[in-house]
Structure 1
Amino acid sequence: MAELSETIDKKPRRGRRKKRKDVIRRAPVGAAPGTLIADPDAHPPELTLRTLGDDGQHEVIRNVDLSDIVGARREWSKIWLDCTGLANVELVDRIGEAFGFHPLAREDVLNVGQRPKVEFHEDHVFVVLPMLDRRHEASREQVSIFFNRNYVVTFQERPGDVFDPVRKRIDAGGKRLFERDADYLAYALIDAIVDAYFPLLEDRSEEIDLIEDEVLEYAEQDQLTRMYEMRREVRQLQRTLWPMRDAIAALVRTDSDHLSDDTQRFLTDTQDHAIQLLEMSETSRDTLTGLIELHMSLASARTNEVVNLLTIVSTIFIPLGFLAGLWGMNFNPDVSPWNMPELSLYFGYPTALGLMLVVALGLIWYFRRKGWLGRD
């Protein structure tokens, strides 16, 4: 968990967030089931093979050729083939044929944006999960995982994943990864995907706390915009986490021969993590909803305060204005020197205009100081 938190850069989020849409790639309408079509914007593929022996020996072969994989499967007790980039349809199809993946599963690999799910086949298990991008935490990509007791095959949309802790364990000779079957390696990858969501949700929780302090100090319109955007993002996360939890639960409950009882016990811990993530997201959503309501209540209370003051001022000056309008303020200055002596001033008109301007500016300053015209 500590290692995984380092894979996601935690940066303060300020200002408007860029909207993220889950785009699902589909074959053309009417295409035969199992039709493989690549996204024109997909990354070129990179094949990396990691071989693991029961005695702790392992190798890493980059840009491996498919013909070498057949020999590696015979020579090593476990292998992990990682394909990063889905631009080459033929390569994905050849890998699927080499390992016996169902044509519909190969189609799901290329049609990214699938709902998290798990499928149990005769000779392997197929899992689809959304993974956070290590370089941009708000972005997610689809990871397709095929595994049984002897191999793990992963397909990723682009470079940058959360599997570095697993790779470090392999390089360090972690006993569990070497002594257990490949289904334990698949568990480690799934667990890394799930745990990578913790830093993101913790970051959102901290930002919500900051917004709460700001709202209690002074409610502003930009806070409301940020809260709406965060709540939308949390809802998107929930739509990801709900089926993810169900998929992991299916792995825990299955009686498939491709999962050992020992691995399923470890998956129970991953299931608990998924449930905890859901609870964190629900707490964040409820807190944001409460903050939005509080923001509106505070803004309404402040508006009522301003209206009340203006009503009092207007009530005081309404009768005065009525009397001034009734008499017209046209008192004869010849009768008494106290009858509007300003009418005889040489600069009376400019003085009156200046007084009006000073009063207007003074009121603006007072309203801004009270916070009724916003804050600097």
Structure 2
Amino acid sequence: MDLDLPDSGLVFGLRLDGRGGAVPVAADGEAGRPVWLHLERHDPAVQRWLAAAAAVPASVARALLEEDTRPRCVVRPDGVLLILRGINFDPSAEHEETIAIRLWITAGRLLTLRRYRIMAVTDQREALEAGEGASTVAELVLRIVERLTARMVPEIDGMEESLVRMEVEALDDGAAIDRDRLSAIRRRALVLHRYLAPQREALAEFGRAAGERLAGIDPLDFQETIERVTRLVEDLDALRSRAAIVEDGLALKTAERMNRNMYWLSIVATVFLPIGFVTGLLGVNVGGIPGAESPWGFAGLAALLAALIALEIWIMRRARLI
């Protein structure tokens, strides 16, 4: 069975054999078997193919090619549009916190579009080539969603472990906490939450509406995936709150330390203010300064100043200022 394929931009095309394996679309395969095409979204040939030759509705093609997307699910009579996000593991996408995968799902064909390499897709391709993959389009979609979710878990767990260490260090006044790392955790949790929260709703909508059209999805399996996404959203909520608490605690400790330093500076200034006044008064260049002609004048002045300091300290202690 010949397929209409774009001239370029096809990352890979596989025809499912219904037994967990797949063959390239160019190879001979069983007629009528589902096809999975994985495409480069920014390739001009792919864009032209989607617009003209792929039997994809115009509104769906526009959604698949959008530059900035948020997770969502749109159920149509002729298929399901599903846009999801995963954590960026592609070094070429250093500026991206998350990367999008766009899916157009029908009973006999799955189109997936990418801008950067998506490890969840790579996992499923390798599983199909090893004969251990999905047997239907619906099962393939479920497995991609599961891998997208599973690959988020170690990242979020790592953020939580780092935050736990910072929480312990925050209890130690002498410990130095990496504020840049703390801010990075809080910012990353915010970004992931921004996409995971609507992704949970998109998957729930897909499970409700699309499951009736695409046979082969076990409702319990899909519900478990949605529950895992929900737990990740809750974990990110907790991470954001805990990171904010640690930052507030650090800010409070810094303010307390500055206040303490300013207090002791004020005490020192208070002690030396009268001494400065006395020495300044005796340093004026006029006649009649007491002790100017006496060999014991300096020693007497030093004794007087020491007594003055002792008196000030005694008064401050009685007043519980020190």
TM-score bin, normalised by smaller chain: 0.7 to 0.9
Alignment-derived partner of residue 195 in structure 2: 240
TM-score of the two chains, using structure 2 as the length reference: 0.77
* Matches for 1:85-164 after TM superposition, within 5 Å: 85-88=41-44, 90-95=45-50, 98-136=53-91, 139-164=97-122
- Determine if the alignment matches structure 1 residue 77 to structure 2 residue 65: no
1:85: how far off? Answer: 4.1
- Counterpart-to-counterpart distance in 1, 2:99 and 2:19: 34
Q: Deviations over 1:146-199 (max 9, x none)?
A: 12332211111133533233223223322x722xx2111111112222222222
TM-score of the two chains, using structure 1 as the length reference: 0.67
Residue 120 of structure 2: SS of its match in structure 1? coil
- Determine if the alignment matches structure 1 residue 59 to structure 2 residue 23: yes
| Rg larger in structure | 2
- 1:124–1:152 CA distance, 2 compared to 1 (3 A): same
- Determine if the alignment matches structure 1 residue 335 to structure 2 residue 294: yes
- Counterpart-to-counterpart distance in 1, 2:53 and 2:23: 21
- Relative to structure 2, which stretch is displaced further, 107-116 or 164-173? 164-173
Count of matched residue positions in the alignment of Structure 1 and Structure 2: 285
- 1:57–1:284 CA distance, 2 compared to 1 (3 A): closer
2:13 maps to a residue whose letter is L
2:40 maps to a residue whose letter is T
- Counterpart-to-counterpart distance in 1, 2:243 and 2:205: 32
Residue 163 of structure 1: SS of its match in structure 2? helix
- Determine if the alignment matches structure 1 residue 50 to structure 2 residue 14: yes
Residue 59 of structure 1: SS of its match in structure 2? strand
* Matches for 1:296-375 after TM superposition, within 5 Å: 296-328=251-283, 332=291, 334-336=293-295, 338-340=296-298
Q: In 1, are the aligned partners of 2:71 and 2:202 still within 8 Å (CA)? A: yes
* Matches for 1:273-288 after TM superposition, within 5 Å: 273-288=228-243
1:122 maps to a residue whose letter is P
- 1:255–1:48 CA distance, 2 compared to 1 (3 A): closer
1:298: how far off? Answer: 0.4
1:177 aligns with one of 124, 134, 141: 134
Which consecutive aligned stretches of 4+ in structure 1 deviate over 6 angstroms post-superposition?
219-222
Q: Deviations over 1:72-96 (max 9, x none)?
A: 6x715222111134221x4334246
Alignment-derived partner of residue 165 in structure 1: 123
1:97: how far off? Answer: 5.1
Q: In 2, are the aligned partners of 1:125 and 1:148 still within 8 Å (CA)? A: yes
Q: In 1, are the aligned partners of 2:87 and 2:151 still within 8 Å (CA)? A: yes
Q: In 2, are the aligned partners of 1:49 and 1:82 still within 8 Å (CA)? A: yes
Q: In 1, are the aligned partners of 2:23 and 2:129 still within 8 Å (CA)? A: no
Q: Deviations over 1:264-293 (max 9, x none)?
A: 332111101110110111011001110111
- 1:328–1:125 CA distance, 2 compared to 1 (3 A): same
- Counterpart-to-counterpart distance in 2, 1:101 and 1:319: 88
What's the % identity of the aligned pairs?
18
- Counterpart-to-counterpart distance in 1, 2:151 and 2:50: 28
- 1:135–1:210 CA distance, 2 compared to 1 (3 A): farther
- Counterpart-to-counterpart distance in 2, 1:192 and 1:96: 30
1:256: how far off? Answer: 5.2
- Counterpart-to-counterpart distance in 2, 1:188 and 1:97: 30
- Counterpart-to-counterpart distance in 2, 1:114 and 1:317: 66
Alignment-derived partner of residue 163 in structure 2: 208
2:67 maps to a residue whose letter is V
- Counterpart-to-counterpart distance in 1, 2:228 and 2:20: 29
1:126: how far off? Answer: 1.1
Q: In 1, are the aligned partners of 2:80 and 2:210 still within 8 Å (CA)? A: no
- Counterpart-to-counterpart distance in 2, 1:99 and 1:200: 37
- 1:213–1:206 CA distance, 2 compared to 1 (3 A): same
- Counterpart-to-counterpart distance in 1, 2:212 and 2:293: 114
Q: Deviations over 1:43-88 (max 9, x none)?
A: x723311122124552135xx6xxx8xx86x715222111134221
Alignment-derived partner of residue 346 in structure 1: none
- Counterpart-to-counterpart distance in 2, 1:115 and 1:121: 18
- 1:256–1:122 CA distance, 2 compared to 1 (3 A): farther
1:265 aligns with one of 183, 200, 220: 220
Q: In 2, are the aligned partners of 1:53 and 1:76 still within 8 Å (CA)? A: no
Q: Deviations over 1:287-315 (max 9, x none)?
A: 11101110111011111211221222222
Mark the runs of 5 or more structure 1 residues left unpaired by the alignment.
1-43, 342-376
Q: In 1, are the aligned partners of 2:41 and 2:47 still within 8 Å (CA)? A: no
Alignment-derived partner of residue 370 in structure 1: none
- Counterpart-to-counterpart distance in 2, 1:217 and 1:272: 37
